[in-house]
C-alpha cells in the first residue's frame, strides 16, 4: 500500500491523502480539499485517482469534490447518513463495508460517530495497518463535537473501536494539530515523559513531512486514551469540586473534551 499524505498549507491545517495500489497505480483520495496538490501528487507518482472518500460532511473535507470529479471522473464515497448533505455521492457506506483500491488494497469502513453523527474512518488491514480517521482521532488528540457531533458517541467510538486497534496501526488524521495536542496532554498530565519527549522531538515539525504516530504511541501521549491516569483524574477533581470522587472513563473523557474546547 502506498500512502501519500498531502498538507494543504491552509489556516485549518488540513491533511489530504492518496491511498494507492502499487501494482495497478489506482488511487483513492481522502477529503481532497486542496485539489491542485492532490492532482500534482498523483501525477508525480504515476497514479490514477478512481475513488474519492469523504470522512464526513464538513466543508473543509468536501469542498474539493466537484473539482476532483471533473478532473478524474472518480466515484464519490461517503457515510450513508451524509448522502443528504454531500452532493453527488455515488456510494453510501455502512459499518463493515469494504472499499477496494486496485488489485491489492482493501479498506474496511468503520462507522465512527462523535465529531459528526455521519463520520467514517478507513482501516487498511495491510501488513502495517493504517487508520484514516478524518476528524475523529488526531495525533495526540480527539475531534471536537461542535458542529453536529456528540461527546457520548465520540467516547463510544474511542472505547469500543479505536482503543482495540493493534499497537502498530499508523494514524492518519484530517488535520495537523500534533504540537497543540501534545501541549494539552502535558497540561492535563504534567510529567508524561512520552509526551514531553515527543514534543521536544517535534518542535521544528514540518507538516509537509509530518510525523506519523502509531496506536502504541497514542496510548502513551493522548490523554483521551489515558482515562485511568491518576494525574489526569486528580487534576480534574482539583479544578471542579462537583467532579465525581470515583469518575467513570466516560466522565473523564467528557471532562477532557470540555476542557480542550476552551484550551
3-state secondary structure of 243: coil
DSSP 106: E
Does 88 appear as a known binding residue?
A: no
Sole residue written with cell 479544578: 239
**Residues in contact with 177: Cβ distance below 8 Å, sequence separation at least 6, in sequence order:** 13, 138, 139, 140, 141
The conformational region for residue 242 under phi > 0 = left, psi -120 to 50 = alpha, else beta, is alpha
Does 240 appear as a known binding residue?
A: no
Does 176 appear as a known binding residue?
A: no
Biggest CA–CA distance in the chain, Å, is 60
Please give the backbone phi and psi of residue 83, each rounded to the nearest 5 degrees, phi first: -65, -20
Does 146 appear as a known binding residue?
A: no
Q: How far apart are CA 31 and CA 14, in angstroms?
A: 9
Q: How far apart are CA 70 and CA 54, in angstroms?
A: 16
Does 60 appear as a known binding residue?
A: yes
Q: How far apart are CA 106 and CA 95, in angstroms?
A: 14
Residue 106 · residue 98 · CB < 8 Å? yes
**Residues in contact with 95: Cβ distance below 8 Å, sequence separation at least 6, in sequence order:** 109, 110, 111
Does 56 appear as a known binding residue?
A: yes
Q: How far apart are CA 38 and CA 7, in angstroms?
A: 9
Does 175 appear as a known binding residue?
A: yes
- Binding region: 56, 58, 60-61, 115, 135, 175
- Binding region for Zn(2+): 56, 58, 60-61, 115, 135, 175
Amino acid at each position: 500500500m502506498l500512502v501519500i499524505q498531502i498538507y494543504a498549507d491552509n489556516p485549518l491545517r488540513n491533511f489530504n491523502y492518496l491511498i494507492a495500489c502499487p501494482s495497478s497505480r489506482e488511487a483513492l483520495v481522502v477529503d481532497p480539499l486542496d485539489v491542485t496538490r492532490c492532482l500534482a501528487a498523483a501525477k508525480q507518482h504515476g497514479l490514477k485517482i478512481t475513488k474519492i472518500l469523504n470522512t464526513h460532511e464538513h466543508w473543509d473535507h468536501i469542498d474539493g469534490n466537484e473539482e476532483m470529479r471533473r478532473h478524474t471522473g472518480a466515484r464519490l464515497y461517503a457515510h450513508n447518513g451524509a448522502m443528504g448533505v454531500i452532493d453527488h455521492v455515488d456510494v453510501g457506506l455502512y459499518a463493515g463495508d469494504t472499499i477496494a483500491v486496485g488489485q491489492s488494497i482493501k479498506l474496511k469502513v468503520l462507522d465512527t460517530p462523535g465529531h459528526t453523527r455521519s463520520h467514517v474512518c478507513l482501516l487498511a488491514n495491510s501488513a502495517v495497518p493504517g487508520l484514516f480517521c478524518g476528524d475523529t482521532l488526531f495525533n495526540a488528540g480527539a475531534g471536537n463535537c461542535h458542529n453536529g457531533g456528540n461527546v457520548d458517541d465520540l467516547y463510544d467510538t474511542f472505547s469500543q473501536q479505536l482503543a482495540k486497534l493493534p499497537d502498530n496501526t499508523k494514524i492518519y488524521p484530517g488535520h495537523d494539530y500534533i504540537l497543540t495536542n501534545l501541549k494539552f496532554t502535558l497540561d492535563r498530565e504534567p510529567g508524561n515523559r512520552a509526551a514531553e519527549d515527543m514534543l521536544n522531538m517535534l518542535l521544528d515539525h514540518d507538516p509537509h513531512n509530518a510525523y506519523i504516530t502509531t496506536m502504541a504511541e497514542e496510548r502513551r501521549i493522548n490523554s483521551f486514551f489515558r482515562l485511568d491516569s491518576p494525574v489526569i483524574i486528580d487534576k480534574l477533581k482539583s479544578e471542579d469540586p462537583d467532579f465525581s470522587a470515583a469518575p467513570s472513563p466516560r466522565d473523564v473523557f467528557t471532562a477532557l473534551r470540555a476542557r480542550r474546547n476552551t484550551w
